[in-house]
Structure 1
Amino acid sequence: MAERSQTAAAPRRSRYALRALALGYVAILVALPVAVVLWRAFDEGVGQFCAAISSEQAVQAFRLTGLVAGVAVVINVLFGVGVALLLTRYRFAGKRLLNVVIDLPISVSPIVVGLALVLVYGPRNGWLGRPLADSGIEVIYAVPGMILATVFVSLPLVLREIVPVLQDEGMDAEHAARVLGASAVQRFVRITLPTIRWALAYGIVLSLARSIGEFGAVQVVSGNVSGAGQTQTATLLVNERVQQLVPGAYQVSVVLIAVAVVAIVAVSLLRPKELP
Structure 2
Amino acid sequence: MVELSPARWTLRILVIGYVFMLVLWPVALVVRGAFQDGVGAMLESLTKPDVVHALNLTLGIAFWAVLVNTVFGLAISLLLVRYEFPGKRVLSALIDVPLSVSPVVVGLALLLVYNGRTGWFGPALERAGFQVIFAAPGMIMATCFVALPLVIREVVPVLTELGDDQEQAARSLGATGRQTLWRITLPSIKWAVVYGVVLSLARSLGEFGAVKVVSGNITDRTQTATLIVEQKYQNFDQATAYSIAFVLAAASVICIIIVSLLRPKESHS
Shorter-chain TM range is over 0.9
CA distance in structure 2 between the partners assigned to 1:15 and 1:96 by the alignment: 41
SS across alignment from 1:154: helix
- The partner residue of 2:228 within 218, 221, 237 is 237
Q: Please name the residue that 1:273 is paired with.
A: 265
- The partner residue of 2:151 within 158, 178, 181 is 158
Q: Structure 2: state its 5+ residue gaps.
A: none
User: What is the Cα deviation at residue 21 of structure 1?
Assistant: 4.1
Counterparts in 2 of 1:274 and 1:17: CA distance versus 1, 3 Å: farther
User: What is the Cα deviation at residue 36 of structure 1?
Assistant: 0.7
- In the alignment, residue 242 of structure 2 is paired with which amino acid? Y
- In the alignment, residue 269 of structure 1 is paired with which amino acid? L
Counterparts in 2 of 1:244 and 1:65: CA distance versus 1, 3 Å: same
CA distance in structure 2 between the partners assigned to 1:266 and 1:175 by the alignment: 33
SS across alignment from 1:190: helix
Q: Please name the residue that 2:48 is paired with.
A: 55
CA distance in structure 1 between the partners assigned to 2:8 and 2:158 by the alignment: 30
CA distance in structure 2 between the partners assigned to 1:105 and 1:267 by the alignment: 22
Q: How does 1:71-86 map to 2 (within 5 A)?
A: 71-86=64-79
- In the alignment, residue 267 of structure 2 is paired with which amino acid? L
Q: Please name the residue that 1:25 is paired with.
A: 18
- In the alignment, residue 245 of structure 1 is paired with which amino acid? F
- In the alignment, residue 246 of structure 2 is paired with which amino acid? V
Tell me the TM-score normalised to structure 2 length. Answer: 0.93
CA distance in structure 2 between the partners assigned to 1:180 and 1:242 by the alignment: 62
CA distance in structure 1 between the partners assigned to 2:163 and 2:129 by the alignment: 48
The one-character-per-residue Cα deviations of 1:39-83 (angstroms, maximum 9, x if unpaired) are 011011111101111111111000000010100000000011000
Question: 1:205·1:260 contact (CA, 8 Å) conserved in 2?
Answer: no
Q: Please name the residue that 2:123 is paired with.
A: 130
Q: Please name the residue that 1:117 is paired with.
A: 110
Q: Please name the residue that 1:249 is paired with.
A: 241
Question: 1:142·1:231 contact (CA, 8 Å) conserved in 2?
Answer: yes
- In the alignment, residue 273 of structure 1 is paired with which amino acid? K
CA distance in structure 2 between the partners assigned to 1:254 and 1:268 by the alignment: 21
Counterparts in 2 of 1:36 and 1:87: CA distance versus 1, 3 Å: same
% same residue: 53
| Number of residue equivalences | 267
Question: 2:191·2:262 contact (CA, 8 Å) conserved in 1?
Answer: no
Structure with larger Rg: 1
- In the alignment, residue 228 of structure 2 is paired with which amino acid? L
User: What is the Cα deviation at residue 24 of structure 1?
Assistant: 2.8
User: What is the Cα deviation at residue 267 of structure 1?
Assistant: 3.7
Q: Please name the residue that 1:145 is paired with.
A: 138
User: What is the Cα deviation at residue 16 of structure 1?
Assistant: 5.3
- In the alignment, residue 256 of structure 2 is paired with which amino acid? I
- The partner residue of 1:104 within 97, 100, 107 is 97
Moved more, 173-182 or 19-28: 19-28
SS across alignment from 2:265: coil
- The partner residue of 1:42 within 21, 35, 45 is 35
RMSD: 1.9
CA distance in structure 2 between the partners assigned to 1:20 and 1:266 by the alignment: 28
Question: 1:81·1:159 contact (CA, 8 Å) conserved in 2?
Answer: yes
Moved more, 176-185 or 97-106: 176-185
SS across alignment from 2:131: coil
CA distance in structure 2 between the partners assigned to 1:153 and 1:264 by the alignment: 18
CA distance in structure 2 between the partners assigned to 1:24 and 1:197 by the alignment: 37
Counterparts in 2 of 1:18 and 1:178: CA distance versus 1, 3 Å: farther
